[in-house]
Structure 1
Amino acid sequence: EFARAPGTSDYAHNTFVDFGGVTAKNVRLTANSNWGGMFNQYGLSEVRFFSIPVFAREPSPDSGTTDVDVDVTLSFRAGREAAKHDVYLSTDEQAVIDGTADVTTVTEASHGPLPLDLGTTYYWKINEVNEVETTTTWQGDIWNFTTHEYFVVDDFEDYNDYPPDEIWSTWIDGYGILTNGATVGYPAPDWNQDEHYVETAIVHGGEQAMPFFYDNTGSAAYSEGERTFAVPQDWTKHGIKALTLYFHGDPNNAAEQMYVKLNGSKVTYDGDAANLTQTAWQPWNIDLVGFTGVNLSNVTELSIGLERIGAAGGKGVVYFDDIRLYPLFSAVVGTFSIHPWTGDGDSGISSSKTYTHTGKFTGEGTDGEPFFAGNGVYFERDTNRSGTSWTLTGAANVFGTTNPVTVADDSAALARSFFYGDEDNNHPVLTLMGLLPNTEYVTTFYTVGFGGAGLRFVDITPGDNLGYPTRVDQNGVGSGSGQLIKHTYTATSTEMSFMFDALKTGDSWHHYAFSNEAVSPNLGSN
């Protein structure tokens, strides 16, 4: 029998029901009579259920956490009645749900440290067990976490201008060696002008990069910098498969053969040597299997170098940053290149080319109508972010710029108005459809600086190299000046995508115009 409520605003609870420790998921209340006896009416002001917390809870890391250490120790708050804890852990969520995943029984409310793989999502649950209780096992919830994507070998952030932390004290160059033409770091920085041994303006990640000067024109046939690890590195653990580094060229560089060595075993750059002239951060992904004869569980030396192509040799400067270890090897299928765009003469637009896709982004005019791009070529005008065989998502805004531009002639019309996205985690994606597999194409993005150089870096990730973006400064040639960003690739399917990820919060890639041309002839156009 429930006590009668007094009906006042300040009355305290006055009825307790002892369930006697019964195990229950549902409770049903049936009213047989009431206190008034006149009307068939009943009311409850508030009902509270108090229970013993028998399930595991409060997981660490929290469910859904990313960038978790690969040697993490899992922990949780144990259920009150548990004598031991069955830990189910797997990359297969269904196996954890079904209880068929590998299980480890522990007596403490933790499990680890664990030998996990990089870039992997794991699912886990805790079943609380006590054989002497009426209910021997309490099934836990399914939790998940994802380990971090890579290990950092060197991000060049720890170097400074004081002994022994100068960059050239770790990366030994060709100083005093006539046959080695390398100079690591700026040899004579002006500290009064905020210069340093490291590069602080042209960086891929963080605030510092390594300037690497090479000169193979004299007695040196190669230029090489070598780092010796104080503690030998084991690159066989946690699913490591690839070494990745990012490099940034200079237009005045001589094209030389870039290479990397591990313990003296060399792998040469498999891209175009002319990429050393490109002013973009380009990834080089190296399958560790390629380092012949190296014991990857005992890596002691890492070298980066450039050697002569031809008898004369050349010189220049390359910037290196973010040397990392990844769990997957992804060969770069396509390559980016950056070119000045000042008018019709260097726009690359030609009536002799076979264009499969074109688009001029604008908020004016009739969608789909021809838009004159110069040199006798018309692009497809776009106002709704989709064309005959392509789509653009994540760029919901339009800006009709009147800023002065240096692009001249008819192609200057492409430099007026653009689409953009302004959400912090909004990554616009351009998708091309109707491609012919095994056909070579060149996609060109026509763009104009909108602010000073170094202020609008964007990672462009093509669909043929997911996870390894190329970093481009959209303002690289200055505000109002034009650039052509080209990606040359061989289609592996009928579609190709490009994702644009601005580094600075609030920024976005400015989508002015694009084209996609088939290098192979007689393919027709879409």
Structure 2
Amino acid sequence: HSVESTDMWLTYPPDEEPLYIQYEFDRIYKLHEMLVWNYNSQFEMILGFGLQGVTVQYSVDGTDWTVLGDFELARGTGTVTYTANTVVDLGGAAARYVRLVVNSGWGTMGQYGLSEVRFLYIPAHAREPQPGDGETQVAPATALRWRAGREAVSHEVYLGTDAEVMTLVGTADAATFAPGNLEFGKTYYWQVVEVNEAEEIAAWAGDIWSFATMQYALIDGFESYTDDIDAGEAIFDTWLDGWINNTGSTVGHLESPFAEHTIVRSDHQAMPLFYDNTGSSSYSEAERTFASPQDWTAYGVQALTLYFCGDPDNSAEQMYVKLNGSKILYDGDADDLKETTWRPWTIALADFGVNLRSVTELIIGFEPGGAAGGQGVVYFDDIKLDPTIPAAGRFLVRPWSGDADSGMSSNKTYTHTGKFTGEGVDGEPILAGNGVQFERDRDSSGTNWTLTGPATNVFDTSNPVNVTGDGAALVRGFVYGDQDDSHPVLTLTGLEPGTAYVATFYAVGYGDAGGRFVDVTPGDNPHNPTRIDQNGAGAGNGLLIQYTYTAAGTEMSFAFDALVTGDSWHHYAFSNEVASSN
């Protein structure tokens, strides 16, 4: 133990009032023992600064005090090997404050000191929660568990989505409780009050803990399928195709690996669904029958979301989904099947009009959008149930070669424009084509927008681009940067709620197609990002990424999360226009 006087407490007594040292805890504890290390400088045996006679008092509020008793504290040894040599039995006293009133010391110098005091307590509060405090991705079916407070007879469980407004949801005899009504995508706060009516203090309120439930329920991520046909583990053994249902579909590749391993949204596999409506069948379907009926009403789920990715050579057919035989048509553009963008399709479950407590069959299909049928392949991944139905807009990704097909017009109403650069004067106008001027930006902010996060690296260059006209200036130079735990976010402000807008991001391929995948998450669909290849048009070729949406409030945001660590979205330029001005 230390013999340095600067490590200890030493003081003179105040005039005309008792000297005491007071300890305050973060809450009320059931105290067991107090261990005391007295004053312990190397000259203590001569000086006698250590306390000798003390009165121990305790309180729950710092106002009303109870006397535990008078005690003599053993003298410090003045050595570095000194250990606590006084133990005071606190007898399970409930206290938040403890006071040692000094009655005498071991010497006559008129100063009094201590080295250290430790308090041991009886764990009357609940502790060691499961899920752990702050844990995320918790299944809604999870039962709450904890280590019970000593001497607790029953356990009151309080729960809520607001730490200030928790309600009693049940009383348990054991240290576990199953709420049963948790929902996906929420943060919950909970507290256990340990109760024993036979004790002086009948209830001990524990800490407030929190956990966050999973954002969705995964129906099929396509990761469990193998190439073992004999074991029935191939993807087409679960998702039946035209070989079984006599439609124009083929699930999986004809040769192993049967699942898709390259064009995937997450993890390692996706489902390739080939459709051919040109032959004897006028429609193509892949169907999955569940081994036991599924309850798609539990835990607050509201929507079915499928992620799909198309192919440029596809025929633009009508995609649809069936649930227990009830059919919902894809409400986006049929040409979405031609885009190599991973986009979400979210369907309100109530729109199917079936018994959602007993879902037995899920079908994905394609039928002719016109008189003649077509063919192609669409990849599916991450079919899931969502707790919300976002009032989300839609992405459109298309090539851009110059002013003629940029979509810019001086007749449109632009609410926001920005050209990121490290050159020129911040805020000055820059000609963007067709009589439209953008705002030059050097500090990642404008009068009604901000770009926050790590996109602070400036890359100004005259790199050749295959975009002609004044618009080429928009893709000469960019800012970039991304981190695994912090992603750039563009926020537009000053929007008019209820107004339809089109946000456009101007880009050029900085490498070959397939080389810069980024998940772009709009603020009106925060749990369902769209994966876009910013190099999708090829090296040097222009690309327009447009998002049509209706403003729910005065702000709209876009977050950019690069798929590959070390990559990032290249922020060249953007605009936001009133949709009715098209």
TM-score, scaled to structure 2: 0.82
Structure 1 vs Structure 2 CA RMSD? 2.2
Which residue number corresponds to residue 81 of structure 1?
151
**Contact 2:156/2:171 (8 A) holds in 1:** yes
Q: Following the alignment from structure 2 to structure 1, what is the Cα–Cα distance between the partners of residues 334 and 563?
A: 27
**Contact 1:407/1:415 (8 A) holds in 2:** no
**Contact 1:403/1:480 (8 A) holds in 2:** no
2:553 pairs with 1:487: no
> Closer, same or farther in 2 for the Cα pair 1:12/1:102, shift >3 Å?
closer
Q: Following the alignment from structure 1 to structure 2, what is the Cα–Cα distance between the partners of residues 490 and 290?
A: 22
> Closer, same or farther in 2 for the Cα pair 1:418/1:3, shift >3 Å?
same
Which residue number corresponds to residue 517 of structure 1?
577
2:234 pairs with 1:166: yes
Secondary structure of the structure 2 residue equivalent to 1:20: strand
Shift of 1:138: 1.0
Shift of 1:338: 1.0
Q: Following the alignment from structure 1 to structure 2, what is the Cα–Cα distance between the partners of residues 111 and 176?
A: 46
Q: Following the alignment from structure 1 to structure 2, what is the Cα–Cα distance between the partners of residues 29 and 104?
A: 41
Which residue number corresponds to residue 102 of structure 1?
168
Matches within 5 A, 1:166-315: 166-175=234-243, 180-187=247-254, 189=255, 196-292=257-353, 294-315=354-375
Q: Following the alignment from structure 2 to structure 1, what is the Cα–Cα distance between the partners of residues 578 and 156?
A: 58
> Closer, same or farther in 2 for the Cα pair 1:368/1:41, shift >3 Å?
same
> Closer, same or farther in 2 for the Cα pair 1:328/1:521, shift >3 Å?
closer
Q: Following the alignment from structure 1 to structure 2, what is the Cα–Cα distance between the partners of residues 309 and 20?
A: 82
Q: Following the alignment from structure 2 to structure 1, what is the Cα–Cα distance between the partners of residues 202 and 574?
A: 65
Residue 46 of structure 1: which of 116, 130, 133 is its match? 116
**Contact 1:446/1:514 (8 A) holds in 2:** yes
Code of the residue aligned with 1:373 in structure 2: it is A
Q: Following the alignment from structure 1 to structure 2, what is the Cα–Cα distance between the partners of residues 6 and 395?
A: 58
Code of the residue aligned with 1:121 in structure 2: it is T
Secondary structure of the structure 1 residue equivalent to 2:537: coil
**Contact 2:482/2:562 (8 A) holds in 1:** no
The answer for unaligned runs of 5 or more in structure 2 is 1-52, 54-72
Which residue number corresponds to residue 10 of structure 1?
81
Shift of 1:475: 2.7
Matches within 5 A, 1:415-426: 415-426=475-486
Which residue number corresponds to residue 394 of structure 1?
453
Code of the residue aligned with 1:443 in structure 2: it is A
Code of the residue aligned with 1:156 in structure 2: it is F
Secondary structure of the structure 1 residue equivalent to 2:243: coil
Matches within 5 A, 1:76-155: 76-96=146-166, 101-112=167-178, 114-155=180-221
Which residue number corresponds to residue 378 of structure 1?
437
Code of the residue aligned with 1:167 in structure 2: it is I
Which residue number corresponds to residue 65 of structure 2?
none
TM-score, scaled to structure 1: 0.90
Write out per-residue CA displacement over residues 473-516 of structure 1, whole angstroms, 9 at most, x where no aligned residue.
Answer: 22333444432111122334333221222233343322111112
> Closer, same or farther in 2 for the Cα pair 1:296/1:26, shift >3 Å?
same
Shift of 1:328: 1.8
Residue 28 of structure 1: which of 81, 99, 119 is its match? 99
**Contact 2:239/2:287 (8 A) holds in 1:** yes
Q: Following the alignment from structure 1 to structure 2, what is the Cα–Cα distance between the partners of residues 310 and 481?
A: 32
**Contact 2:517/2:563 (8 A) holds in 1:** yes
Secondary structure of the structure 1 residue equivalent to 2:76: coil
**Contact 1:373/1:379 (8 A) holds in 2:** yes
2:376 pairs with 1:316: yes
Which residue number corresponds to residue 537 of structure 2?
477
Q: Following the alignment from structure 2 to structure 1, what is the Cα–Cα distance between the partners of residues 168 and 121?
A: 31
> Closer, same or farther in 2 for the Cα pair 1:92/1:454, shift >3 Å?
same
Range with greater deviation from structure 2 (484-493 or 381-390)? 484-493
Shift of 1:423: 2.5
Code of the residue aligned with 1:45 in structure 2: it is S
Shift of 1:246: 0.8
The answer for unaligned runs of 5 or more in structure 1 is none
> Closer, same or farther in 2 for the Cα pair 1:422/1:330, shift >3 Å?
closer
> Closer, same or farther in 2 for the Cα pair 1:137/1:436, shift >3 Å?
closer
Which residue number corresponds to residue 395 of structure 2?
336
Write out per-residue CA displacement over residues 178-206 of structure 1, whole angstroms, 9 at most, x where no aligned residue.
Answer: 6x22222222x3x5xxxx22222221111
Higher strand share: 2
* Higher relative contact order (Cα pairs below 8 Å, separated by 6+ residues): 1
Q: Following the alignment from structure 2 to structure 1, what is the Cα–Cα distance between the partners of residues 418 and 502?
A: 14
Shift of 1:219: 3.1
Which residue number corresponds to residue 8 of structure 2?
none
Shift of 1:405: 4.1
Code of the residue aligned with 2:242 in structure 1: it is G
Q: Following the alignment from structure 2 to structure 1, what is the Cα–Cα distance between the partners of residues 212 and 359?
A: 27
Write out per-residue CA displacement over residues 252-289 of structure 1, whole angstroms, 9 at most, x where no aligned residue.
Answer: 32222211111111111122222222221111111111
Structure with max Cα Rg: 2
Shift of 1:110: 1.8
Q: Following the alignment from structure 1 to structure 2, what is the Cα–Cα distance between the partners of residues 437 and 139?
A: 45
Q: Following the alignment from structure 1 to structure 2, what is the Cα–Cα distance between the partners of residues 106 and 284?
A: 43
